[in-house]
Amino acid sequence: MHHTVATLAHTHDHRLVLLAIALCVFGAITAMRVLQLAMVSGGRRRLAWFVGAAIVGGCTIWSTHFISMLSYNPGMPISYDLVPTFLSLTIAVVVTSVSFAAMMRREAWAPYIAGVLFGSGVAIMHYVGMSAVQVAGRLAWNVDQVALSFLFGMGFGLLALAAIRNLPGDRGVLSGSAAFACSVLFLHFTGMGAATVIPDPSMTIEMNLLPPVVIAAGAAVSTCFVLTVALLCVVFDRRMTHGKADAERRIHHLAFHDSLTGLPNRTYFGDRLRESLDAAAAQNGQVAVLAIDLDRFKQVNDIFGHQAGDGLLRTLSDSMSAELRGNEMLARVGGDEFVIVQCNVAQPEGADDLAKRLLTAVCRDVEVEGFTFRAAMSIGIALYPRDGKDAATLHPNADAALYRAKQEGRGGYRFFEPEMDMALRERRALQVEMRDALKRKE
């Protein structure tokens, strides 16, 4: 290990070493982020992100290795064969693809096998790339150092893929990126320290046309372009995903809430009432349904216009909502019709107290759109299980009690009584008979 440090200190261009390290860290973070997206995606998106992660990871590994090799100066002329250089790029991409594919399998052993494949593959890529080095001499290898480079690659590779597999969100990305970068950097510089150049004056080499700094800059720019495109895709995908999620939340909200007041609508109320009744049946509990109607609301619309009527609805909805407690839910089920479900309260005391609170909050002077109105409302109350054991019975019975409250002068509340239902049925039957009589001109 001491020989590795000495080699790095005395036979490398430190500017290019720092460039390689920076590029490796940037690429590791990008590759882990893209790989994480592949893991949580499905179908074609999963395949697209997987291919992107393999390309980004492979390019990062290769460019780190190549730029670090360009920084190597053994004290004699050095050149690089293009065939092994570009073969090492192919190996880097293939190795990354295979190890990432293995890691994405569901088995518990997947990240560990993938880590071993990753580290050993990067080592093979490194030594194939090293075969591109051309100097007036030959390379002698320290076998122990070579073995140590394999261990560094496999150990940190295992940690990288285990982290991205097992740790959530940014923790997985940051931990995986750190281990990924360590795998590549420790392997490379340990492998470089394993090589010793034995000069041979009889050998001649053909020098590259461009100096190492220029070649390194070209490799760095090309890799940064790939990484930047990948990051832009990640950012764009995140925005699209968040936009889609926001749209779905808005659609869901509109499906179950009133657009004017923001209160739950009839559908939401029906679901909540059924859930409350099921829970009450299981626990021998009680439920109250309060049907509410604003008194003389139609006159507000007819005289002052729908804008004033809408403003009054919003104002009174807020007033009623402010009186609710955690076990009470208010919904708007019609033009000026509201309903409340009250659970886990002793009845009829709970409903009686709620009705009084609502009347106190609503029956007052209200200013809307420059007009002052005397607001009022009537309330009808039906109780589970006394007045009905299902939603189809309780809500109509609350309506019947509401009708009686209106008949008795408005601005008050009534509990349901069985004769109310009979009276309401008779009234509706009379209305039907009168309508039919008019059609027959009787």
Active site residues: 336
Contacts 24+ apart (CB under 8 A), 369-377: 369/304, 369/307, 369/308, 369/311, 371/304, 371/308, 373/300, 373/312, 375/294, 375/312, 375/316, 376/294, 376/295, 376/296, 376/410, 376/411, 377/292, 377/293, 377/294, 377/295, 377/316, 377/411
| Contacts (Cβ under 8 Å, ≥6 apart) of 67 | 16, 19, 20, 23, 216, 219, 220
Q: Is the link from the previous residue into 385 a cis peptide, with omega within 30 of 0? A: yes
Span between the terminal Cα atoms of the chain, in Å: 111
Contact present, 92 and 125 (Cβ < 8 Å): yes
Contact present, 378 and 407 (Cβ < 8 Å): no
Place of tokens 């990871």: 57
375: left (phi over 0), alpha (psi -120 to 50) or beta: beta
Tokens linked to 229? 């495109």
CA 109 to chain centre: 27
Rounded distance between C-alpha atoms, residue 337 and residue 294, angstroms:
7
Among candidate residues 400, 320, 312, the one with its CA nearest the CA of residue 356: 320
Rounded distance between C-alpha atoms, residue 22 and residue 26, angstroms:
6
For the chain, state the CA radius of gyration.
38
Helices (H), 110-211: 110-130, 143-166, 169-193
3-state SS, residue 412: coil
Beta bridge partners of 137: 199
Q: How far lies 344's CA from each of 10, 204, 236, 383, in Å?
A: 79, 93, 48, 12
